[in-house]
Chains A and B, each alone.
Chain A
Amino acid sequence: MLRKAGAARIRAEEALCSIECVRYRGSKYGAGFAAYKVEGVSEGLFKVKAFVRGEDALLHLKKILSEYAGGEIFELGFETQGETQFLSWTASVQAPVHSLRRAVDKANYDLINSGIKGRIYSWGRYVEVFKGVGYPADVARLYGLVERDAQADMWIAHTRQPTNSPGIYPIWSHPFSSYEWAIAHNGDISSFGANMEFMRYRGVSSFVGTDSELIVHILDYLTSIAGLPVEKASLALVNPFENTLVGAEHSALGLGEYIEFRGAWLDGPFSVVAGYCDGEDVYMLALADRSKFRPLVVGEDGARIYVASEEAEIRALSEDADVWPVKPGGVFLASMKRGIILRGREHVQVFYRKVRTSPPSRGLVIDASARSYSQINRLVREYFQSGAREVTVKNVNGHRYLGINVPPGCRLNIYGTAGNCLANFNKGGEIIVYGSAQDDVGDAMYGGRVVIHGDARDVIAQALQGGEIFVRGSVGNRAGIQMREFRDSTPFLIIGGRADDYLGEYMAGGVAMVLGIDALDLDECLVGKYVATGMVGGRIYVRGRVERWRIGLPPPKLDVLRYLKGLYLEGLIDYYTLNKLGSTKGEITLDDIRANLSSEPLRRISKLFTSKYHKDLKVEERRLGDWDLKLVTGPLRRFFTEFGLDQRLYQRILESKFTIIETAQAAAKREQNVEAEEG
């Protein structure tokens, strides 16, 4: 979290309080903090911090520092005490940055290769890392951060669940730092080996072996050595798709730069939060991978800017903050003095909601603060078992697994931010959230209702097979994937705002609707990319136009253009057709091809678009017909009633054009039935 210029510095206690919200995400194997201070720092003096075990290691470290760094070393001694094998030793160093950089690398190389004897883990002027083995509270205690009321312009906090390194030594804990950069990372990048090859010969010869440390080296290299601006380096690091580099209207990065630093970009799952200070200003950066395999939200209130894995971490400190998720492949960048520079997505104010509704003071009310989810669920169960029809839980903040035990006909009200896995397997209960819900709402739910007055995050309504889920605000990635239906059970997912990528991915049944009710006057597509990829059943309604290339997975435009040119050279299409298709905006779709090519060239080029797994989709942009209205009116009316939206708005939505997506097979079958009925 970053303070805004003019606001008070942030206390360690607050950083700790926030990260302890997601204690369940971590383990005893590593936690840490990074603190940035731009003022009150001795000019040009680096604070070098190293873990060492054994007298020899420390002697060697000091020797390397004095030999390689040049300059002066003022030893500050050990800042942690005795129980652990590794102690944190610190010193102030006055030296040119390039020679200190060499010294750090040399010392780290020697220390690691002599049997993990130690590691310099922080050597900035403005950043200082505090990390160790344990939970965040343990590590804070180790350094006395709360006791001495440490304060900073920015804090990064991390709790770790190690997957690929043991976590028994503090060298593997986050944040990782290099020069004035520090990062915390959630994920496991598949480009790791390529990234290693990229960095190996660029002045870094020692690695602790985790992908997370590598990311901080790459950021430091790109900005400090290669001289890329922070903004550009960040936009590239998320590995943009080729179609955003070549032939895009606005490209943040040239193809030349993309190629020049090829191997630096990150692939596979990651959420990264990073800090940086250039001596003038403090920057906070957050990166989401292109598939959005990890959660990442940002928040802003009058005094501060936040980045977190869960909204609950932000809400722990700020009820007022506006909160929104970073989009897939998105970059968020803010600075203390400039405020938010890149928001991580577009139209945040239109699509994301803050809900402030006070819980009732009467009835059965459970206070969630100071209670675990299992304690809450036990109380909820007891109340319902004893005959209650409605139970309220207030002060919910990130509690998982709520709403999984609400009997049919009963109602659970949740005030606050519902944690992950809300209403999973819900059979018939009604769950109302006055606030937002996090990831994985209504997974495999088969009856009942979920009503969310705020937003919901990724993977809502996965494998939803009965009942209805209403979200007043927006949802994240992979909404309604694998939805399915049975004879008398058609599930509904209705979204008041917008949805990100992969809406209805391999959807097999049910109805997903995206309304954009606060964006009626905004000419903006309400869904991301790869809508309905692998869809085999069900229907998707998105208000307004969804360009055809957003639906399904088209082949790269450059490959299609090349094939078209081949057809032209063989005399199978004319120059006019080649040019016409060549000037298509966005990707070229099979519909574009079908509309322009005769049978032989169409047959040939179709192979790029179809496979044995391809199912033709029927996509129409039109107003709702009788058949549609019969299907959606009931749930849609309930949606509007539930959220207290007025009748005129309802009419306006009903009269809007929708993009309607279904399989061609289902469409043909329905048309046949309609004909049969009429006949």
Chain B
Amino acid sequence: MTAPWWTSRRIRHLQELSGAVGRQPGEPPIVSMGSTGPPHIEHPYFIRDRLVSDGAQVTRPSIDPYREPVETFIYLCEGRIRLSMPLIVKIRPEADQTFVMAAVKACYCMNVLVEVGPNLPEGLEKYGEGVIADISMMGRTDFAAYITTRSNICRSDRPLFVRTAPALSYDWVVQATSLGVSGIYIDEDLAGEAPVEVATSLLDRELRKKGIRNRISIVAGGSPIRGSDDIYKLVALGADAVVMSTAVEFAVGLHDSRPEGEAIRERVENLLLGIQRELKLLAGAAGVSNLFNSLVGNRELLRAVELEREVRQQLGVKQAGVG
């Protein structure tokens, strides 16, 4: 049963980006002004569906990323990990080996981290520097970073992320960081007490208050992340990188056309390239030329549509049309 937010339009768009359908893989389509998205045209499912981008204007012009640089790189964990864009691809444990092989290779080439389960196929160890792995896999090869839980924080030569459910309070984080944790992973797939948008924003502000924001990385997301718009909004709310999973499987047409390994790899690469270009277009439309410095936590670039005051305050986002 597919979750209701995976509308056919969404899936079609991802598949066009990947090249599973259509003729222009990796190319964002040209769109006009106006919106075909939520909350007014499509049904809103998440808080992020009620957030819109506050675009550039005459005194702060937009940037055309096809002619001018828009830097999408992100550094995690005080510069120990560099990503070409704020994205981590999570491979679900039940994914088949062909898909895992192809996705790991594609993510490596496109310089985004890939999160794998404990069943990494043989022969992929050499891609370790592009992989964020479960703590149980420590010692198997040299991975970029590890993921653990609050109750299992241990010493590690590589950056350590704590996976946590979206919450309303992160008072434990300072202590965790003193034990050597260098990132928090808010997993939207874990049932929590808050929506991922609220949790991300609260954690970002919490770390800022404690003066450790630029030492501790925040990654957030999970299977309900549908594309560059979701990524852009979570980054503006404070995430350094956003985790995407099911979207990749939909994009490559895994469930419809059963593509073989090379085709999957090519499609994942195209998808990532397309997402990167969309992020550049989104940032460019807001007059932003650098995501790492200028977009992360930049709530000023978002506006809320029909969100109640309390949520707006938690997010730190202004109401659309006001100020």
Q: A-side interface residues toward B, CB under 8 Å?
A: 163-164, 187-194, 196-198, 200-202, 239, 241-242, 255-256, 259-265, 267-269, 290-291, 293, 502, 505-506, 530, 533-534, 553, 556, 558-559, 562-563, 565-567, 569-570, 604, 607-608, 611-613
Pick out which of these stretches binds chain A: B38-46, B62-70, B166-174, B176-184: B62-70
Does B134 have its Cβ within 8 Å of any Cβ on chain A? Answer: no
Cα–Cα distance between A198 and B60 once the two chains are bound (Å): 21
| A562 B277 Cβ-Cβ under 8 A | no
Q: How many A-B residue pairs have C-beta atoms within 8 angstroms? Tell me.
A: 161
Q: Is the interface of A mostly helix, strand, loop or mixed?
A: loop
| A269 B109 Cβ-Cβ under 8 A | no
Cα–Cα distance between A534 and B73 once the two chains are bound (Å): 23
For the complex of A and B, list the 3 residue pairs with the smallest distance between their C-beta atoms, beginning with the closest: A193-B300, A566-B109, A193-B298
| A558 B67 Cβ-Cβ under 8 A | no
Cα–Cα distance between A290 and B127 once the two chains are bound (Å): 36
Please give the distance in Å from B300's CB to the nearest CB on chain A: 3
Contact of B293 among A194, A291, A530, A613 (CB under 8 A): A194
| A263 B27 Cβ-Cβ under 8 A | no
| B293 A193 Cβ-Cβ under 8 A | no
Please give the distance in Å from B129's CB to the nearest CB on chain A: 9
| A190 B27 Cβ-Cβ under 8 A | no
Q: What per-residue 1/0 map shows which CB atoms of B283-313 lie under 8 Å from chain A? A: 0001111101111111111000000000000
| B24 A612 Cβ-Cβ under 8 A | yes
* Residue of B71, B126, B209, B289 most packed against chain A (CB within 10 A): B289
A255: which B residues are within 8 A, CB to CB? Answer: 75, 79
Residue of B nearest to A200 (CB): B208
| A533 B67 Cβ-Cβ under 8 A | yes
Does B78 have its Cβ within 8 Å of any Cβ on chain A? Answer: yes
A267: which B residues are within 8 A, CB to CB? Answer: 287-290, 293-294
B163: which A residues are within 8 A, CB to CB? Answer: none
B299: which A residues are within 8 A, CB to CB? Answer: 193, 197
Cα–Cα distance between A264 and B204 once the two chains are bound (Å): 16
Give the size category of B's interface with A.
35 or more
Interface CB pairs A-B, < 8 A, 25: A189-B60, A190-B289, A193-B301, A194-B295, A197-B204, A200-B208, A201-B209, A239-B293, A259-B79, A262-B292, A263-B214, A267-B288, A269-B61, A269-B287, A293-B61, A506-B67, A530-B67, A530-B68, A553-B67, A562-B109, A566-B105, A566-B108, A569-B105, A611-B277, A613-B66
| A194 B297 Cβ-Cβ under 8 A | yes
Please give the distance in Å from B5's CB to the nearest CB on chain A: 27
Does B246 have its Cβ within 8 Å of any Cβ on chain A? Answer: no
| A534 B214 Cβ-Cβ under 8 A | no
B300: which A residues are within 8 A, CB to CB? Answer: 192-194, 196
Known contacts being A268-B60, A553-B69, A556-B73, is A291 close to B289, with CB within 8 Å? yes
B78: which A residues are within 8 A, CB to CB? Answer: 256, 259-260
B269: which A residues are within 8 A, CB to CB? Answer: 604, 607
B8: which A residues are within 8 A, CB to CB? Answer: none
B236: which A residues are within 8 A, CB to CB? Answer: 193
A566: which B residues are within 8 A, CB to CB? Answer: 105, 108-109
Does B152 have its Cβ within 8 Å of any Cβ on chain A? Answer: no
Within 8 A of A (CB), among B246-297: 266, 269-270, 273, 277, 286-290, 292-297
Cα–Cα distance between A562 and B105 once the two chains are bound (Å): 11
Cα–Cα distance between A241 and B298 once the two chains are bound (Å): 19
Known contacts being A558-B82, A563-B111, is A607 close to B270, with CB within 8 Å? yes
Cα–Cα distance between A255 and B273 once the two chains are bound (Å): 25
Within 8 A of A (CB), among B195-212: 204-205, 208-209, 211
A261: which B residues are within 8 A, CB to CB? Answer: 214
| A262 B27 Cβ-Cβ under 8 A | no
Residue of A nearest to B236 (CB): A193
Please give the distance in Å from B271's CB to the nearest CB on chain A: 12
Please give the distance in Å from B218's CB to the nearest CB on chain A: 13
